[in-house]
Amino acid sequence: MNLSSPKAIEATRIAQFLRQHGYSAYLVGGCVRDLLLDREPADYDVATSATPQEVIRIFPQTFAVGAQFGVVLVPVFRDTDAGERANYAIEVATFRSDGAYSDGRHPDEVQFSQDARMDVQRRDFTINGLLLDPDTREVLDYVGGREDLKQGIIRTIGQAHHRFAEDKLRMLRAVRFAARFGYSIEAQTFAAVRELAPQIHQVSHERVRDEILKMLTEGHARRAFELLDQTNLLQQVLPEIKKMQGVAQPPQYHPEGDVWVHTLMLLEGLPAGCSKTLALGALLHDVGKPPTFRVAPDRIRFDGHAEVGTKMAAEICRRFRLSNDDTGQVLSLVANHMRFGDVMRMKDSTLKRFFRLPRFDQHLELHRLDCQSSHRDLGLYEFAKEKFHTLPAEQIRPTPLITGDDLIAAGYKPGPIFKELLTAVEDAQLDGKISTKEEAMELVRERARELA
């Protein structure tokens, strides 16, 4: 087991320090699981018999984030290679057992305990219930977690139905861990999720969103969504995606199958660490297809699906309380995804304006995934990519030939007409028809006469 990373060293040191003060202390949970799997843990947690007050007394610079749950953050300051002080925190939690859960998410009260064995019983899955002795590096397993890690099984600690009834978020965590590690979900655990899935709404939209975003960006999004579907959670958290199932597509463009299969293929193409907006764009780009499905005389059509889909995506982003920035980007990805079909016919001005969309690289990548997940012809993608990367920035966004001030100086009255005139001038410039201020003013006079 490799405990040589700076964070592992700090966490071990904190646990040892607690022991030197006479308390019991272990590394616990996800970090032990990851260390056994030879994966770098995202964060380290320490569990101890010391109460929050005692932890705060031992470590001077702590902050009690969840003191009522017995959680204290011990900050770590370290010098990086660059010489700056970076900091993070190790979570130190007092051994506890949780009381009754009446809101379907949080325990009404917690009871601190002296016993590590008791503490692991409240944790969610066996693979997340392992303890690591900081002195001997021995793993303590009171829940059968090592065997489940070996077999690749997600299994609740204790009776599945009871554990999911306590905290519904665990249902999404089960899917997320199964997808991330490529594990199966044990039969009773699986059956309990299927049964309790309609109660996932007791979890806040923000927490559901965070789980879904992790599933989408950890590199196993397809598996995650297949499991969401099989556990009945998909119908609850994203009914708009569930509706894609069985929605046929024209085979000449979509030999892969229905809208759901197509979407799963895009998800399969999302690499670990991909941006959440690209991931949501991929998930939602065809969300407007089910409601626009129509069998026309020539073929199946989805007229206006990008526009309808943009509205649906807006509702989903709102439901998920996504930031305005991220929502804007997701909606732009959905709204513009069909425009690649025209890139070869676009006027230069149209193409250049297309390229000006914020984070155009994500539009390109979504289009590549879209093609790869259907007809596999990357002609339009290669064309757009080549143009986008070879056109100098000065040509995509050239310095304007004239501004509103020039129009005022020439005697025009400010108003809506200004935007029209300046756009016409910019179009002509982007199309390479004009390149001087004189030509621009000549064009203004022509257009003003037409508009008058």
Contact residues: ligand ATP, CB under 6 A: 29-30, 42-43, 45, 123-124, 128-129, 167, 169-170
25 CB burial (10 A radius; 0-12, 13-18, 19+): buried
- Contact of 215 with 179, CB cutoff 8 Å: yes
Q: How many CB atoms lie within 10 A of CB 185?
A: 24
Site for Mg ion in 383-422 (CB under 5 A): none
Fill in the amino acid letter for 61. Q
Site for Mg ion in 277-296 (CB under 5 A): none
Partner interacting with residue 123 (select from ligand ATP, Mg ion, none; CB below 5-8 Å by kind): ligand ATP
Q: How far is the CB of 186 from ligand ATP (least distance, A)?
A: 16
129 forms part of the interface with Mg ion (CB under 5 A): no
Q: Which stretch binds Mg ion (CB under 5 A): 35-43, 94-102, 351-359, 430-438?
A: 35-43
- Contact of 261 with 199, CB cutoff 8 Å: no
Whichever of 156 and 336 has its CB closer to ligand ATP, that residue is: 156
Q: Which of 43, 54, 98, 115 binds Mg ion (CB under 5 A)?
A: 43
- What is 211-279 written as a DSSP string? HHHHHHHSS-HHHHHHHHHHTTHHHHH-HHHHTTTT----TTT-TT-SHHHHHHHHHHTPPTT--HHHH
Helices (H), ranges, 404-452? 404-409, 416-430, 437-451
Q: Which of 11, 14, 30, 93 binds Mg ion (CB under 5 A)?
A: 30
Whichever of 35 and 430 has its CB closer to ligand ATP, that residue is: 35
Q: How far is the CB of 43 from Mg ion (least distance, A)?
A: 5
Whichever of 219 and 400 has its CB closer to ligand ATP, that residue is: 219
Residue among 191, 176, 163, 186 nearest 107 (CA): 163
Beta-carbon contacts of 351 under 8 Å, excluding residues fewer than 6 positions away, are 343, 387
Site for Mg ion in 294-353 (CB under 5 A): none
Q: How far is the CB of 206 from ligand ATP (least distance, A)?
A: 14
- Contact of 92 with 119, CB cutoff 8 Å: no
Whichever of 157 and 316 has its CB closer to ligand ATP, that residue is: 157
Partner interacting with residue 10 (select from Mg ion, ligand ATP, none; CB below 5-8 Å by kind): none
Whichever of 183 and 381 has its CB closer to ligand ATP, that residue is: 183
Identify the three-state secondary structure at position 38: coil
State residue 76 phi and psi, 5-degree precision: -120, 125
CA atoms of 239 and 227, how far apart (whole Å): 14
CA atoms of 449 and 397, how far apart (whole Å): 28
Identify the three-state secondary structure at position 294: strand
Partner interacting with residue 309 (select from Mg ion, ligand ATP, none; CB below 5-8 Å by kind): none
Q: Which residue's Cβ lies closest to Mg ion? A: 30
Q: Which stretch binds Mg ion (CB under 5 A): 26-34, 182-190, 205-213, 400-408?
A: 26-34
192 CA to centre of own chain: 26
Identify the three-state secondary structure at position 297: coil
Q: How far is the CB of 170 from ligand ATP (least distance, A)?
A: 5
Whichever of 169 and 407 has its CB closer to ligand ATP, that residue is: 169
Q: How far is the CB of 208 from ligand ATP (least distance, A)?
A: 13
CA atoms of 215 and 241, how far apart (whole Å): 15
Q: How far is the CB of 351 from ligand ATP (least distance, A)?
A: 42
Q: How far is the CB of 42 from ligand ATP (least distance, A)?
A: 5
Whichever of 181 and 302 has its CB closer to ligand ATP, that residue is: 181
Partner interacting with residue 326 (select from ligand ATP, Mg ion, none; CB below 5-8 Å by kind): none
Beta pairing partners, 48 = 25, 94
CA atoms of 45 and 33, how far apart (whole Å): 11
* Segment holding 179, helix H or strand E: helix 169-181
Whichever of 39 and 321 has its CB closer to Mg ion, that residue is: 39
Whichever of 43 and 210 has its CB closer to Mg ion, that residue is: 43
Partner interacting with residue 426 (select from ligand ATP, Mg ion, none; CB below 5-8 Å by kind): none
Partner interacting with residue 128 (select from ligand ATP, Mg ion, none; CB below 5-8 Å by kind): ligand ATP
Q: How far is the CB of 286 from Mg ion (least distance, A)?
A: 34
* Segment holding 173, helix H or strand E: helix 169-181
Q: How far is the CB of 161 from ligand ATP (least distance, A)?
A: 15
CA atoms of 48 and 22, how far apart (whole Å): 11
Q: How far is the CB of 194 from ligand ATP (least distance, A)?
A: 19
Interacting residues toward Mg ion by CB under 5 A? 30, 43
